[in-house]
Structure 1
Amino acid sequence: MKHTLFLFVILLGLFACQDDDVFFDIKMSEDKIRFEPVPGGAMMYYSLPADMDVFAVNLRYKDCRGHEMLKVGDYGGDSLLLDGFNEAQKNIPVSVTLVNHRNEESEPLHLTFDTQDSAPYSFFEKAEVSSSWGGFQLIYDAPKQVSGMLHVFYLGMNPLTQQMDTILMKSSPIIKGGDTLLFPLQQERAVNTVVVRTQDYRGYRVKQQIWEDVEAYFPEKLDTSSLKFIDVRGLSIENDEDKSGIKYLFDGDIKGDQRMKSGKGNMVHTFLAGPGATGAPFIIDLKGERVPAQVRIYTMLNTLKYNVLGVDYFTKLPKSPLGGIWLS
């Protein structure tokens, strides 16, 4: 009897070992899976088998840094994003397994997929840093599917250490379709060194590029006596008695002081045009090759249409010692 019980225990142990070797035997069909390369990875489109034992699908692969990645899909979706890549790659191995409700996995199906350059990696292919007014500008293009951040620095004086350092100007997500960013500098320098760095959303630096000798344009006020104003349709109202005409466009009076000092409401000391002046062309000849930086136009405020020449005019224009047309 003792030997019989001992044999029975051994047989139970053997059957237990055999049960441990049993695995989930439904395998994912390869024709139910499709990969499509996208920036920074690939999209896997799948269709799970109509089987009550199937609970989910697991994907395992390694990203560009060799980290093990696990993606899980179920019947609630039909696609998974396989991310974690920067530079475009081909034939990246991936294993696909089905999972049942006991978290048992099927025999793996081994496949490969391709990726495209990520937005932080391809950023510099269509990025340009160029001169701008008082600083520089960054113009870039980006794909429709974007991820990651960009950081813009310039070489300047650190106010804390009083030494040259890279000073952060802006951190921004990479915008779908691209963007134009302007960077006026508080530290006026004729020539600047600009550093642009990209980063993925996991915090890893992707690429960096340095632009040296980037000029900054600084505006200077143009002498209005060198300008020529052309009234194409002759719509300007020239009236010496009411003090209106073209000459008041460039007289430097930006606060209406002449009118206030005269004390006469009918003397407007300004440029008037019409009727039919809306949309009409007026030309300012710069008499040379110049790039306009700013054009400042001062006019009456808080004046009704039928009371332009009335005596209730007062100005609320900001106080400024500068006015006119500004050019480089």
Structure 2
Amino acid sequence: MQDAERKREKCYFKAPVFAVAPMIDWTDTFCRRFHRLLSRHALLFTEMVVADAIIHGKRDKLLDFDTSEHPVALQLGGSDPAKLSEAVRIANDWGYDEINLNVGCPSDRVQAGTFGACLMREPETVAACVKAMKQASSVPVTVKCRIGVDDQEPESVLPDFVDRMVDAGADALWIHARKAWLQGLSPKENREIPPLDYPLVYRMKERHPQFFIGINGGITSLEEASRHLEIMDGVMLGRAAYNNATLLTGVDHAIYGEPLAAPDWDGVRDAMMEHAARHIAEGGRLVHLTRHMVGLFQGFAGARRFRQILSADATRPGAGPEIVAAAFAAVDVAAGPVRAA
């Protein structure tokens, strides 16, 4: 308990914060354990979990995580204050460092549940949800949102939304600097087609200098992240961090000021082999872990073979931890990334 409390104290609201975005079907516990091996300080998020599922479903399966994942935030989906409050009360026992409300996902599946980005049209509902969650939570409650949806005008919608979140008692706001189009664009297109408006998000921080606001959307490097952090309190990367996981090895130095050090690739390999052995012994499959590792070593000599081993050999029946060792052995980690002439 003392260790968990110490980690919470270090966790948040002391800018700067670097976070890996919540991503449905991607940021499961195996992904987060892997990412934690690459950065000690990055804030990690769960996939979105629907409040109803926590109340009525298999809570252990939905909420269990490894203590190595701290600091880790639980993202909830929902629009009913009473249900979200109950879900938060249940989640309190699991010891997450933060509870986050999803007001940004544009998928049809999420819209059908009347939550996610469509709630940008109902800021009073979101405020009521935040208040209820705050009353039930033992940790900070935050919101992840868009700058608007469909034909909304972000210049007027977003300031009102931010004001309402502050008044409701939210501890932080993560803003994806794009509109979401709820009809006509896929979730993937909603991450790429609507134009980014970083200056608008910057202005929200200027309006609320004492309130933690992080920025998300279109950020692909630690250099870009550092530039945003000259203005913002936090920066969040999603696909860029997942698809090029080596980026995370630079976070503790570039963002948190840790001494520059070469990644402990042997340690990463051995830890993932240990995780794999335990998971397989419990009836799981190697690919549950290795599918999150394929993006590692982009630009290294041997990276293609690394991907081949994890994409093919790790999926075969009976595949064991030795596949992880074979994949790492294919990469010239000592040489580092290959530099273009």
Q: Same fold (TM over 0.5)?
A: no
Q: TM-score range by the shorter chain?
A: under 0.3
TM-score by length of structure 2 reads 0.17
Report the structure number with the largest CA radius of gyration. 1
TM-score by length of structure 1 reads 0.17
Higher-helix-fraction structure: 2
Higher-strand-fraction structure: 1
